[in-house]
A and B are shown apart, each in its own frame.
Chain A
Amino acid sequence: MNRNAAEYRIVIGLEVHVQLKTETKLFCRCSTRFGQPPNSQVCPVCLGLPGALPVLNAHAIELACRAGAALSCTLADFTKWDRKNYFYPDLPKGYQTSQYDLPICAGGYVDIPITPSANPPGSHNVTKRIRLVRAHLEEDAGKSMHDEHSSRADSKIDLNRAGTPLLEIVSEPDLSSAEEAKTYLSELRLLMVYLGISDGNMQEGSLRADANVNLHIAQGDQWIATPIVEVKNLNSFRSVERAIEFETARQQSEFLRTGLAKGQAPKQTRGWNDVLGQTELQREKEEEADYRYFPCPDLVPVRLTELQKRNAHEQATQTPTQYRKELIDKHELKTTDAEILIQQGKPVVEYFLDSIRAGAPAKRMAAWMLQDVLRTLNDRSIGIELYPVSPKSMAQLLGAIEQGRVDTSQAKQAMAKLLEDPNLSVDAAIESLGIVRVDASQIENLCKELLAENADVIEKVKAGNHKAVAALVGQAKKKNRNADPRMVQEICLSLIAQMP
């Protein structure tokens, strides 16, 4: 790809639109619920009918403040609404109500974990600080659907989404790789979801990014910046990563071909085509589009009180970073294990912590979470809130292992019983297995007895057919119904291995 082997740096800034988790839209009482029949969640306000007027949804302000607090932004004392004027069919008023020069949140940062390879083993995550320019509130537009397959090109507009509150978070150009951009977006999403600011549902468009990308290419002893390209329509982590990788290659070859630096070529807006895996030119302009921003005369400015700000900070404490600290520092989880739990979301982490509070040993609980609980959630496609075994039961079950009352395999059988019948107590589940602890020496004697009686099995195993020992399990059970089948197999195999 890099024939001239020119050294370059990638410079990326992201604008992320986070859909806020409000019941109703930013300026009217229509529901924000996703997936409803087209144009079923609309009213004169979000349809932009003559004479309709906006009224601010206070919950959106609360959530924006919480986000600002979590992102270490400065929360504005005074913030206002501005109209961004442009014509587009899915913009029913001919302007978007947004915030121009006085955003609700200014500054701030996100610390992102950087690549594990750069992480010395056994250390905490090394992080990189991505500074933020601002975060402002605005209303979403509707959705255009173009049916270009039918005989007459038919466009339809669904305004259910029009007026949904968005928080646009604008980063400084501090991101320097596709992977960092992806990590930043993922970290931002996690934060928003943990704090109940957004549902973070990427498929439903709750998080959308635009990326400003360019390269600084080494030429002699100086760096030449290539023209900045704004890439729109990045709706998944994968597309952010792929689009930036694509742009890096494209801008490099473009520079090699034309030699045009920033300022010598117009700024481009390109759209990401996820199917073709490429960015496509949308707009090329010498100057910025003129949106003729001016203060919206239908809305009153917002003054944030000290109480609102204090509440925002109080509501912004349970961040992924805080939970990571608790898992790694307090409960001594491995960084990678902690990260898997963190990525599952706050309810899973809280389930884990509840189990520990109920007395479950942390390390064993972590192992069970990663192996059993998450697998069950995945198999059943359910969230932790529908997981049938309570944290208290988990604690009791793992406690039984610690006490030597059951071994791991028996505990797993008991768990299977608990998953089938959530009303069963842990004690009842263990008892239902008819488990009486059988000690290992007893089993070993039993195995010796069995091998003596089954010379053919020994031959088969020696010939390489290890599965042949399974035939002994049934006989073992007849001699001692509490014999653990796995233990029987393991001991038999090791006895055979020791034979001359």
Chain B
Amino acid sequence: MNQPSKILSLTALGQQLRSGAITCRELIESQLAKVQRSNSSINALVSIDPESALAKADAIDRKLQDRQSLGALAGIPIAVKDNLCTRLGVTSCGSRMLKDFRSPYDAHVIEKLHEHDAIVFGKTNLDEFAMGGSTETSIFGPAHNPWDLERTCGGSSGGSAAAVAAGLVPASLGTDTGGSIRQPAAFCGLCGLKPTYGRVSRWGLVSYASSLDVAGVFAHSIQDIALVLQSIAGHDPRDSTCLPHEVPDYTSFVRNFEQIRSTRIGVIRQQIDSPGLDPSIRRSILEAIETYKNLGAQIVDIDMPHSKYCIATYYIIAPCEASSNLARYDGVHYGFRSKRPEASVLDRMIEQTRSEGFGPEVRRRILLGTYALSAGYYDAYYVQALRVRRLIRQDYDEAFAKVDVLLGPTTPNTAFKIGEKINDPIQLYLQDLFTVGANLAGVPAISIPIGHSPEGLPIGMQLQAPPLGEAKLLAIAEAYHQHVDYQPMVPPSFQAPVS
């Protein structure tokens, strides 16, 4: 039923722009028309400024005409998650707290997009302050999965995934703290990369859990991921945790994917054997393993004894950091302030502002973190979680001493229905089962589409690599897609009408 609709790669799109086959204005106008047509059904973009996008497009067209040199992403519309600060428009974080907040500065990744002549094309829906796995906690209401509008597109970067999946943009930026790029990528049939912690600057990424947050990319193909990563990765002195290492030429690594044929791939037994794993996902993963075998890869069983503690560890560390990171939203300096009469007294104003300004999931995590950091509990929760985090990292170190990448499912299930899990936080937290490990260990990980479930829902496979191993990670992922001749698809109901 899913007739492929030809999706142009960023490189091909770039060539069309450069050759004059299409002007940047035409491209942007056509994308704006798609937004007009489709966004209301998926609620992927929460703000967009068509005029500035068109003005930028005209500027690009002039440069193209004048044969001026242009950046690698020249004229490409890219949507960005609304927890990435942009000078233009609002940066809401999907929260009532920042619903009207305008940042006076651009995030590092936004500067990078501009530097490479991309067109920042709207801000995307997300779980409030990136806390959630279904984009349902957003003040703007849930984003919908283009493959099935009754289902979630995942989260927290759900809007960024839905926007690409529905063809509103060819690529987008998201952020990933516990799986917030990879899970939506899996649910929406996209490639989604969470880079190594520190590979991409967090300057201007509104902090949720500082030691886990990283910005990353959604696109249809691994080449496209490589091209965007190339543009946003690299050292930034404004982020003390940003890595100084040289940025390799990811795109050429991806082109030379065949060199990885004799690679060693680790399969985490705990994941494949996980009782909660959807059988159709298990089947697809086992098939993918066979594919790699056929490519000449050596498959190694890997034991990650501490992986069962990942969720518990994550749900201590992330809320602890969040409880402090979100303390700045007190109604004093900027953002929402309660107008209730009792808010005339300072302490009550702060209490009331935070009670009204934050949604239930954000409040839950702030309370969890505040509790875990309190005197008398700190050692039992936070310090213990840090210890376990070290053990989890050790598991990864030991695994990567044996294999080049780790392979497994991205999610235990395919996209679930909107409303299905929102009242059951534990069920929702278990969505992160396979993804949080990479955040706790700081390693790069990608989810790539490997098929569909019997209901026609996309299935994602996760590959993880050692820190700064993005080049190899992308090449190994590309080898799979090349071998199965993967063709990106837009869901049928979002394919352009035949004129």
A: which residues have CB within 8 A of B? 44, 47-56, 83, 85, 87, 89, 92-95, 157, 288, 290, 292-294, 297-300
Contact = CB atoms under 8 A, between A and B. Distances in A.
B85 A51 contact: yes
A47 B332 CA distance: 11
A49 B91 CA distance: 11
A56 B240 contact: yes
B240 A53 contact: yes
Contacts of B105: 44, 49
A50 B328 contact: yes
Given A44-B105, A85-B373, A55 B237 contact: yes
Interface string B305-336: 00000000000000011011011111011100
- Interface of chain A, helix or strand or loop or mixed? loop
B207 A51 contact: yes
B85 A95 contact: no
A292 B370 contact: yes
A51 B203 contact: yes
Nearest to B104: A44
B240 A299 contact: yes
Given A292-B374, A294-B382, A47 B333 contact: yes
Contacts of B328: 48, 50, 92-94
A58 B5 CA distance: 55
Given A44-B105, A51-B206, A51-B207, A89 B346 contact: yes
Closest A-B pairs by Cβ, 5 of them: A94-B327, A297-B210, A292-B373, A297-B211, A51-B204
Interface string B67-105: 000000000000000011100000101000010010111
Given A49-B334, A50-B93, A300 B374 contact: no
A290 B333 contact: no
Given A53-B207, A95-B324, A292-B324, 8 more contacts: A50-B103, A51-B207, A54-B240, A89-B330, A292-B323, A292-B375, A294-B378, A300-B241
27 contacts: A44-B103, A48-B333, A49-B103, A50-B91, A50-B206, A51-B84, A51-B91, A51-B107, A51-B204, A52-B204, A53-B239, A53-B240, A55-B237, A55-B239, A85-B327, A87-B330, A89-B332, A92-B332, A93-B327, A94-B324, A292-B323, A292-B370, A292-B375, A293-B373, A294-B373, A294-B378, A297-B241
B387 interface: no
B194 interface: no
B202 interface: yes
Contacts of A52: 203-204
Interface in B230-250: 237-241
Contacts of A297: 209-211, 241, 321
A424 B235 CA distance: 59
B327 A53 contact: no
A298 B374 CA distance: 20
A389 B330 CA distance: 58
A93 B91 CA distance: 18
A58 B113 CA distance: 31
A52 B238 CA distance: 9
B205 A51 contact: yes
B241 A298 contact: yes
Contacts of B382: 294
B180 to A, nearest CB: 16
B121 to A, nearest CB: 20
A98 to B, nearest CB: 13
A56 B241 CA distance: 11
Interface of B: 83-85, 91, 93, 98, 101, 103-105, 107, 202-207, 209-211, 237-241, 320-321, 323-324, 326-330, 332-334, 346-347, 350, 370, 373-375, 378, 382
A51 B327 contact: no
A93 B239 CA distance: 17
A94 B330 contact: yes
Contacts of A298: 207, 210, 240-241
A49 B373 CA distance: 23
Given A85-B373, A95-B324, A157 B211 contact: no
A321 B109 CA distance: 53
A196 B204 CA distance: 36
A50 B321 contact: no
Nearest to B101: A50
A476 to B, nearest CB: 77
B499 to A, nearest CB: 42
A44 B333 CA distance: 12
Contacts of B93: 50
B51 to A, nearest CB: 25
Contacts of A299: 240-241
A300 B240 contact: yes
A88 B373 CA distance: 19
A151 to B, nearest CB: 15
Contacts of B378: 292, 294
A51 B350 CA distance: 21
Nearest to B370: A292
A59 to B, nearest CB: 16
Given A53-B240, A92-B333, A290-B374, A83 B324 contact: yes
A207 B12 CA distance: 64
B107 to A, nearest CB: 6
Nearest to A159: B333
A312 B326 CA distance: 38
A400 to B, nearest CB: 60
Contacts of A95: 324, 327
A293 B324 CA distance: 10
Nearest to B383: A294
B125 to A, nearest CB: 17
B375 A290 contact: yes
Contacts of B237: 55
Contacts of A157: 332-333
Nearest to B371: A292
A297 to B, nearest CB: 4
Identify the interface centre among B91, B103, B328, B350: most chain A CB within 10 Å of its CB. B328
A298 B330 CA distance: 20
B369 to A, nearest CB: 9
Given A85-B373, A87-B350, A94-B324, A53 B238 contact: yes
A49 B238 contact: no
Nearest to B202: A53
Identify the interface centre among A50, A53, A298: most chain B CB within 10 Å of its CB. A50
Contacts of A300: 240-241
A290 B203 CA distance: 30
B351 to A, nearest CB: 9
A288 B91 CA distance: 38
Identify the interface centre among B211, B321, B333: most chain A CB within 10 Å of its CB. B333
Given A53-B239, A87-B327, A300-B240, A294 B320 contact: yes
Contacts of A54: 240
Nearest to A55: B240
Identify the interface centre among A55, A95, A297: most chain B CB within 10 Å of its CB. A297
A290 B372 CA distance: 12
Contacts of B104: 44, 49
A142 to B, nearest CB: 10
A53 B203 contact: yes
A454 B202 CA distance: 96
B324 A51 contact: no
A50 B130 CA distance: 13
Contacts of B374: 290, 292
Contacts of A89: 330, 332, 346
A152 to B, nearest CB: 10
A292 B98 CA distance: 25
B98 to A, nearest CB: 7
B450 to A, nearest CB: 34
A313 to B, nearest CB: 27
Nearest to B85: A51
A55 B350 CA distance: 28
Contacts of B333: 47-48, 92, 157
Contacts of B238: 53, 55
